[in-house]
Structure 1
């Protein structure tokens, strides 16, 4: 799947006005969205740190270049990935004939336990290089239903790094998703508590903002099953540019900065 997107910055003071603009454009009321993001990084292949430093004075220039090329190849496929937990609205309680209050699942049966977060595994590639009218990159989302997610990712070579929260409002216009949001900092915990800890859930409004100015980000995006199909790519690009034109008086939508959207791990050496 490919994601085509444009991004814009909205000042805190303009948030309410932007919500009204988007509601009028999409002809719908905003849908509240809350997501918990857990960041993981891939571990380097065993032995990478044993490769000699390119700064060794006894190595010839060609030899140094060869070693650097090997290091680049071994690190080229390492990315940051995320577990994204969509915070679901509280399920309504059902009062039984005997007066007991129970929770029901989607099929109408009694749920053994109320679930408030729906998890998925997300991979986002680095946006395509070159001057583009819109940002384009490969993405993948895989639902995670049950099990120990942290251990699962550890077994596949991913280490937990940090977590944060995204809160905002979503609008939909045909195939386009408009997401006006901001990023909040979450209390740092160990890997074993990263999913289970919900101590912040009762005081989300008190979480510190990543952007000290309190600004918001507007992302206009379209997901395409086959982004390499020229016709589908052209259609998605055309739709996003139409959104950009329609909202140009309210926000400046542009392709995202490729460096800031780069999901690859930096290539570093463990030796000096």
Structure 2
């Protein structure tokens, strides 16, 4: 059984399209019908997270953000190479994020690309073609994540405030959905699935 924290990193790029695309005759493409990389603004962030006391059932926290910072110059590949990581693949989250007090509620679907080479992180041609994305969960279900921003989770008053805000959010959304902690052991990719 796991009895210690599991640490992992994520690199997240937020893709923002131009609000009003140029007329079709003036639009530059990259050969696949999509906009060129120069027309996209991508804010890259590096996140260092952990799953505290995974598998023990002693924590009410499923995951926590330890540190997040922006990648200067938006050159994600060079930055990750310098840390010793290699790019493998990517997935796409499409959906919405809602904010209420300290609470953040993310409602997304997870997609994978079918028309582009997933090993090329700067090929954004799939963004122009809705049918080039395929749902990973064929049922069409959404991934819902509720979280609270707490400055220091080692202070019990902060934990209590964060917990009360999550309970308040859970009660508010009870007619629509059930918010409950997931099994932390299920979040560990090293553990066999049930």
| TM-score over 0.5 for the pair | yes
- In structure 1, the gaps of 5 or more residues are 1-75, 94-112, 268-272
- 1:205: how far off? 5.3
Higher relative contact order (CA closer than 8 Å, sequence separation 6+):
1
DSSP-derived class of the 1:125 partner: strand
Partner residue of 2:177 out of 239, 247, 251: 251
DSSP-derived class of the 1:224 partner: coil
**Counterpart contact for 1:84–1:119, Cα < 8 Å:** yes
Separation in 1, partners of 2:52, 2:7: 13
- 1:143: how far off? 0.6
Partner residue of 1:153 out of 58, 77, 80: 80
What do you get for the CA RMSD once the two structures are aligned? 3.0
TM-score, length of structure 1 as denominator length: 0.55
Counterparts in 2 of 1:79 and 1:246: CA distance versus 1, 3 Å: closer
DSSP-derived class of the 1:152 partner: helix
- 1:170: how far off? 1.5
Is 1:189 matched up with 2:120? no
Partner residue of 2:146 out of 216, 220, 225: 220
Aligned length: 171
Q: Which has the larger radius of gyration?
A: 1
Counterparts in 2 of 1:236 and 1:205: CA distance versus 1, 3 Å: farther
Counterparts in 2 of 1:79 and 1:183: CA distance versus 1, 3 Å: same
Separation in 1, partners of 2:48, 2:131: 28
Is 1:203 matched up with 2:129? yes
- 1:250: how far off? 1.5
Counterparts in 2 of 1:137 and 1:247: CA distance versus 1, 3 Å: same
- 1:78: how far off? 8.5
TM-score, length of structure 2 as denominator length: 0.74
- 1:155: how far off? 2.4
Separation in 2, partners of 1:256, 1:82: 20
Is 1:126 matched up with 2:51? yes
Separation in 2, partners of 1:205, 1:177: 29
Q: Could you report, residue by residue, the CA deviation over 1:41-70 in whole angstroms, capped at 9, with x for unpaired residues?
A: xxxxxxxxxxxxxxxxxxxxxxxxxxxxxx
- In structure 2, the gaps of 5 or more residues are 22-37
Separation in 1, partners of 2:144, 2:102: 16
